[in-house]
């Protein structure tokens, strides 16, 4: 059996692909991955779109067509047109998964501009506009879990818009997002028709914490390397079960509402000393999603060993985080910095994407 398909069939974890590109959608590759690898969703972000457009020529014909139709189109509008076409194509390919799951799976995510991360009203307006333009029920709008993003998430859920709450690194991030989802559902006319995931970032936590541990340099510190990210995520999963299988969610469940599944993001292995499938194998369990880039997908297909792990060894997870605190590493400070850095990184990727498109426009003008 393909170990990827076992994740959902045996353990109830959905695998989403953290990658999008036009030829993946038009060449039948995504359909093949749905059938052979059990892919049940797609996520995107400005970095992914930048790599897709800058790293290939598969968009050139579409760009040329857009420019021929509207030579004065603004660069941001040009990007939006390309992105929306990709999102619509992916959503249509995944529609069968969405329908078969009763609207619980089969989503494709599109992010609001990262430059709006600290503007609640502008994020809400942009999310509503994108939701209307894409026009697919299995779209999720990605909204960062910043201070401004939390009320935006609540308002969008209340309005029946699916939300992928992203850039979460800490327990406080998670609890704020879960509460926003509950409050939004309570105000929603038909909570059974809205869905959300809470995207919790994993490997970047180890990258930052390992650096701090190596600076300390003691045997005790070095022993904790590679443990913070998984421990952090496991305790979030425990909190998820408390919230969504407790009294707080029961009245909403009675109205047909879906749980807000934790989604493990940033699951490619950054440290070559760690297993290439570390952040998949160690976080497997029911009612979760893991969104993986192609390299991690292929690695797990080759060497992955599916086993329920996300709710195992919680005592060891608590000890690992306590060990960090004893060494003077404040995980809340680390994760707050990671979220701020994440917003900045997406802004840089977004701006680089627009610069790439503007360069293509100039090249095509000279070519003609």
Report the C-alpha gap between 305 and 280 in whole angstroms: 9
- Per-residue pLDDT band at 364 (split at 50, 70, 90): confident
Residue 363's pLDDT is what? 86
Residue 366's pLDDT is what? 79
Domain containing residue 297: 3-367
Q: What is the CATH number of the domain that holds 198?
A: 3.20.20.70
Quote the pTM value.
Answer: 0.96
Between 32-36, 62-66, 257-261, 317-321, the lowest mean confidence (pLDDT) is in 62-66
**Percentage, residues of the chain above pLDDT 70:** 99
3-state secondary structure the chain: CCHHHHHHHHHCEEEEECCCCHHHHHCCHHHHHHHHHCEEEECCCHHHHHHHHHCCCCCHHHHHHHHHHCCCCCHHHHHHHHHHHHHHHHHHHCHHHHHHCCCCCCEEEEECCHHHCCCHHHHHHHHHHHHHHHCCCCEEEEEECCCCHHHHHHHHHHCCCCEEEEEECCHHHHHHHHHHHHHHHHCCCCHHHCCEEEEEECHHHHHHHHHHHHHHCCHHHHHCCCCHHHHHHHHHHHHHHHHHCCCCCHHHHHCCCCCCEEEEECCCCCCCCCCCCHHHHCCCCCCEEEEECHHHHHHHHHHCCCCCCCCCCHHHHHHHHHHHHHCCCCHHHHHHHHHHHHHHHHHHHHHHHHHHHHHHHHHHHHHC
Give the total number of structural domains in the chain: 1
Tell me how far apart the terminal alpha carbons of the chain are, to the nearest angstrom. 52
Report the C-alpha gap between 164 and 289 in whole angstroms: 11
Residue 95's pLDDT is what? 98
Given a cut of 60, is residue 17 above it in pLDDT? yes
155-212 pLDDT, tens digit each: 999 999 999 999 999 999 999 999 999 999 999 999 999 999 999 999 999 999 999 9
**Mean pLDDT, residues 314-319:** 98
Given a cut of 90, is residue 141 above it in pLDDT? yes
54-86 pLDDT, tens digit each: 888 899 999 999 999 998 899 999 999 999 999
Residue 222's pLDDT is what? 97
Q: Is 119 exposed, middle or buried (0-12, 13-18, 19+ CB in 10 A)?
A: middle
284 vs 180, 277, 306, CA distance in Å? 25, 11, 7
To which residue do tokens 């749980």 refer? 259
190-202 pLDDT, tens digit each: 999 999 999 999 9
Residue 212's pLDDT is what? 98
- Per-residue pLDDT band at 365 (split at 50, 70, 90): confident
- Is the distance from CB of 145 to CB of 339 less than 8 angstroms? yes
Give the angle subtended at the CA of 128 by the CAs of 124 and 130, to the nearest 5°. Answer: 120
**Mean pLDDT, residues 315-334:** 98
Residue 368's pLDDT is what? 55
Q: pLDDT averaged over the chain?
A: 96
- Per-residue pLDDT band at 318 (split at 50, 70, 90): very high
221-250 pLDDT, tens digit each: 999 999 999 999 999 999 999 999 999 899
Report the C-alpha gap between 123 and 116 in whole angstroms: 6
- Is the distance from CB of 309 to CB of 282 less than 8 angstroms? yes
Neighbours of 274 (CB within 10 A): 16
Task: Quote the distance between the C-alpha of residue 77 and its chain's center.
Answer: 24
Report the C-alpha gap between 139 and 106 in whole angstroms: 9
Report the C-alpha gap between 294 and 300 in whole angstroms: 10
Given a cut of 70, is residue 7 above it in pLDDT? yes
Number of residues written out for the chain: 368
- Is the distance from CB of 261 to CB of 289 less than 8 angstroms? yes
Residue 86's pLDDT is what? 97
69 vs 65, 84, 289, CA distance in Å? 6, 17, 40
Catalytic positions = 142
- Is the distance from CB of 91 to CB of 25 less than 8 angstroms? no
Given a cut of 80, is residue 106 above it in pLDDT? yes
Residue 362's pLDDT is what? 87
């Amino acid at each position: 059996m393909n170990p990827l398909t076992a994740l959902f069939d045996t353990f109830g974890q959905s695998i989403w692909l953290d990658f999008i590109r036009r030829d993946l959608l038009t060449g039948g590759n995504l359909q093949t991955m749905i059938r052979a690898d059990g892919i049940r969703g797609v996520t995107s972000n400005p970095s992914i779109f930048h790599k897709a457009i800058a790293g290939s020529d598969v968009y050139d014909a579409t760009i040329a067509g857009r420019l021929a139709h509207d030579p004065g189109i603004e660069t941001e509008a040009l990007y939006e047109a390309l992105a929306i076409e990709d999102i619509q194509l992916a959503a249509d390919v995944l529609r069968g998964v969405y329908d078969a799951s009763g609207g619980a799976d089969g989503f494709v995510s599109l992010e609001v501009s990262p430059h709006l991360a600290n503007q609640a009203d502008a994020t809400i307006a942009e999310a509503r506009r994108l939701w209307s333009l894409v026009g697919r029920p299995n779209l999720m709008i990605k909204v960062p879990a910043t201070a401004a993003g939390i009320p935006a998430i609540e308002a969008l859920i209340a309005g029946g818009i699916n939300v992928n709450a992203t850039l979460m690194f800490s327990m406080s991030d998670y609890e704020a997002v879960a509460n926003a989802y509950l409050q939004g559902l309570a105000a929603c006319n038909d909570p059974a028709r809205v869905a959300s995931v809470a995207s919790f970032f994993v490997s970047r936590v180890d990258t930052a914490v390992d650096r701090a541990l190596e600076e300390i340099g003691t045997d005790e510190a070095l022993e904790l390397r590679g443990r913070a990210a998984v421990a952090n995520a496991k305790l979030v999963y425990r909190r998820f079960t408390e919230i969504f299988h407790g009294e707080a969610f029961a009245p909403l469940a009675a109205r047909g509402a879906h749980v807000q599944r934790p989604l493990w993001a940033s699951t490619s292995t950054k440290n070559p000393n760690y297993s290439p499938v570390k952040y998949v194998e160690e976080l497997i369990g029911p009612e979760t999603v893991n969104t993986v880039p192609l390299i991690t997908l292929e690695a797990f297909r080759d060497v992955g060993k599916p086993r329920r792990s996300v709710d195992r060894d919680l005592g060891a997870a608590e000890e690992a985080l306590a060990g960090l605190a004893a060494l003077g590493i404040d995980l809340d400070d680390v994760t707050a910095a990671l979220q701020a850095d994440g917003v900045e990184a997406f802004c840089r990727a977004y701006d680089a994407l627009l610069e790439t498109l503007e360069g293509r426009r100039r090249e095509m003008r000279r070519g003609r």
